[in-house]
Amino acid sequence: MTSASGAATTISDLGEFGLIAAVTAGRSDAPQVLIGPGDDAAQVATPGGSILISTDTLVSGRHFRFDWSSAYDVGRRAAAANLADIAAMGGVATALTIGFAAPGDLESQWAVELSQGIADEAALVGAHIVGGDVTAADEVMVCITVIGRAGEQVVRRNGASPGEVVGLRGRIGWAAAGLAVLGRGFRSPRVVVEAHRRPEPPYDAGPQAATAGATSMIDVSDGLIADLGHVAESSGVAIDIASEAFEVAEPLVSVGAAIGVDPRSFMLTGGDDHPLAATFPADAELPEGWTAIGEVREGSGVTVDGEEYEAAAGHEHFR
């Protein structure tokens, strides 16, 4: 691939989602592939029904720092990112495989504690580590593939329609506030620092929303505006978020005041908490624990209170 100037196109030129589009272009799915790239997880047919599959990678120095998080915390966080993807499809995770790469001089106990963190997080949904691979590398990398059981209703990103309600369940903005605190050399408020180290996705909310008739759903991993943007694009609709729908918790207010930012920015653009966002028919009763935060409209893109959000919408790799 080359740019207009004739120079070779780099991954940074493409960006995360441009790269995904480039490497998947022109490929047709096999008959057993019920859902391919483009959702939180793939769905593959099996003789007894179907399974859901998703993969995520964490790299030291980019996704976590040794002086900020313990090995056990990294394990919990790595597993949570994968388990939430299965929940976002309305499924339940059952098994994980782990790819682990590290320098030879890393203390072996670090790897043991990492594995325990992964196992303990997986146990929250009844899933188990069933295999993996290890190799030498210059940096620590943790790559987890999760396999899950598909529910009767698999919920994708492309089912939203104008007039529907956007709902959210789970903690949001806390991990971003924790990252902001850690990045400035502090360790308090402790509750947001712990949220960055160890997210608490609402795993039961995925199957709950699917049963309640959710028309689309997504794991909010890169920022609410950014991830709802994927739903809007996949569904061919616009989504408007009502900022007043959010109850801003005191720890976020404290961090925002300390660093001079609107605490709602943590909630609108911060990632790594892994709440679930979904759309529901206008006449549907949102399941217990879900909060209405906006509506689906005609058009495209995501707005906040009817206006385009001026700051960055969320995280994108290579940008």
The answer to whether position 276 is within a domain reads yes
Look at phi and psi of residue 18 and say left if phi exceeds 0, alpha if psi is from -120 to 50, else beta: alpha
Looking at the fold, whether 251 and 122 belong to one and the same domain comes out as no
What per-residue confidence (pLDDT) applies to 13? 77
- Residue 141: phi and psi, rounded to 5, are -130, 135
* Bind-site residues for ATP: 132-133, 157, 221
Looking at the fold, whether 56 and 182 belong to one and the same domain comes out as no
Looking at the fold, whether 194 and 175 belong to one and the same domain comes out as yes
Looking at the fold, whether 121 and 54 belong to one and the same domain comes out as yes
* Bind-site residues for substrate: 63, 272
Residues in the chain: 319
Q: How many other β-carbons are positioned within 10 Å of the β-carbon of residue 2?
A: 8
Looking at the fold, whether 25 and 42 belong to one and the same domain comes out as no
Tokens of 84: 């939430």
* Bind-site residues for Mg(2+): 40, 54-56, 85, 133, 219, 222
Looking at the fold, whether 136 and 223 belong to one and the same domain comes out as no
20-55 pLDDT per residue, tens: 667 666 666 788 999 998 899 999 999 989 999 999
DSSP-derived pairing of the beta strands 33-35 and 42-46: antiparallel
* Bind-site residues: 40, 54-56, 63, 85, 132-133, 157, 219, 221-222, 272
Helices (H), the chain: 11-24, 71-87, 108-123, 174-183, 190-197, 205-211, 224-235, 250-259, 264-269
Using CA atoms, how far apart are residues 47 and 305, in angstroms rounded to an integer? 47
Last residue of a domain, one of 88, 114, 149: 149
Q: How far apart are the first and last CA of the chain?
A: 19
CATH number of the domain bearing residue 235:
3.90.650.10
What per-residue confidence (pLDDT) applies to 131? 97
The answer to whether position 157 is within a domain reads no
The answer to whether position 156 is within a domain reads no
Looking at the fold, whether 22 and 99 belong to one and the same domain comes out as no
CATH number of the domain bearing residue 114:
3.30.1330.10
81-120 pLDDT per residue, tens: 999 999 999 999 999 999 999 999 999 999 999 999 999 9
What per-residue confidence (pLDDT) applies to 6? 62
Looking at the fold, whether 297 and 247 belong to one and the same domain comes out as yes
Q: Say how many domains are in the chain.
A: 3
Residue 209 pLDDT exceeds 90: yes
165-204 pLDDT per residue, tens: 999 999 999 999 999 999 999 988 999 999 999 999 999 9
pTM for the structure as a whole: 0.91
Looking at the fold, whether 25 and 43 belong to one and the same domain comes out as no
What per-residue confidence (pLDDT) applies to 319? 54
Looking at the fold, whether 262 and 285 belong to one and the same domain comes out as yes
Looking at the fold, whether 16 and 39 belong to one and the same domain comes out as no
Domain around 286: 165-304
Last residue of a domain, one of 149, 173, 198: 149
The answer to whether position 288 is within a domain reads yes
Per the prediction, the chain carries an average pLDDT of 93
Tokens of 218: 């997504």
149, β-bridge pairs:
51, 92
Looking at the fold, whether 16 and 59 belong to one and the same domain comes out as no
The answer to whether position 314 is within a domain reads no
